[in-house]
Amino acid sequence: MLDTIFESLIDSFIENKVGLADHFLSVSLAAQLKGKLMSLYASKQMQAAGIGNNALLLHDKLVRSDVIYWLDPAHDDPHENLFFELMDGFIRHLNSTCYTGITGYEFHYALYAKGSFYKKHLDQFRNDKSRAFSMIMYLNAEWQEQDGGELCVYHSDHVQVIEPRNGKCVFFKSNELEHEVLLTQQPRMSITGWLKSNGA
């Protein structure tokens, strides 16, 4: 079953530069991860997201206004451990079928409160080429069109609009496609991150 979902994600990526899989996260795992995210938010453990990395990190709420919390195996959270197992399986499949050479990953919870957004941007840093692929997995069980927060991906000849529906995964190369998160009318939750290589 998982291999079929992995294949649908990869096949749609090859066809359109943006991979999509509707049930990448199971209903139960998405609910568990959403519960963890909401607990972190309620206890004020999530922090304003920045732009750039390390010495170049900036916080500009005119560009992005979400809050995040990094996942870490050291937390030994049972639900996050299931997520890491899923990602390890996907990377094994990706490397064995597409020879991508992925060697690691980093993921964070992201919450866009009502009125939040993230302006058009590219995911790969100018001073660090290690981010090979971007992945977003949504945790919005009751999402409706009026809730906003869609992902807009800018292809050379068209704009692709992706609804942030529960369990859906979006997958694309970090250095190729600019994208943005449209204004939210309801809280929008996801796990967002990057598959990493040694860079080039």
Cα distance between residue 81 and residue 88, in whole Å: 10
Percentage of the chain beyond pLDDT 90 is: 82
Question: Contact, 197 vs 110, CB < 8 A?
Answer: no
Of 22-26, 57-61, 62-66, 109-113, the poorest mean pLDDT is in 57-61
The larger pLDDT score, comparing residue 198 to residue 171, is at: 171
Q: Write the burial class of residue 148 (CB in 10 Å: 0-12 exposed, 13-18 middle, 19+ buried).
A: buried
pLDDT band at 57 (very low <50, low <70, confident <90, very high): very low
Q: Is 78's pLDDT higher than 90? A: yes
pLDDT, mean of residues 47-53: 69
Percentage of the chain beyond pLDDT 70 is: 90
pLDDT band at 126 (very low <50, low <70, confident <90, very high): low
How many domains does the structure of the chain reveal?
1
**According to the model, what pLDDT value does residue 50 have?**
65
Q: Is 56's pLDDT higher than 50? A: no
pLDDT band at 120 (very low <50, low <70, confident <90, very high): very high
Query: Side chain identity at 100, as an amino acid letter?
Result: T
Using DSSP, state whether 5 is helix, strand or coil.
helix
Cα distance between residue 122 and residue 134, in whole Å: 10
pLDDT digits (tens, 9 = 90+) for 134-190: 999 999 999 999 999 999 999 999 999 999 999 999 999 999 999 999 999 999 999
- CATH code of the domain in which 81 resides: 2.60.120.620
Q: What is the mean pLDDT of the chain?
A: 91
Domain that holds residue 45: 2-196
Letter string b/e over residues 161-199, b meaning 16 or more CB atoms within 10 A of that residue's CB: ebebebbbbbbbbbebbebbbbbbebbbbbbbbbbbbee
**According to the model, what pLDDT value does residue 61 have?**
58
Cα distance between residue 72 and residue 145, in whole Å: 32
pLDDT band at 55 (very low <50, low <70, confident <90, very high): very low
- Of 81, 1, 76, 85, nearest in space to 33 by CA: 81
pLDDT, mean of residues 47-57: 61
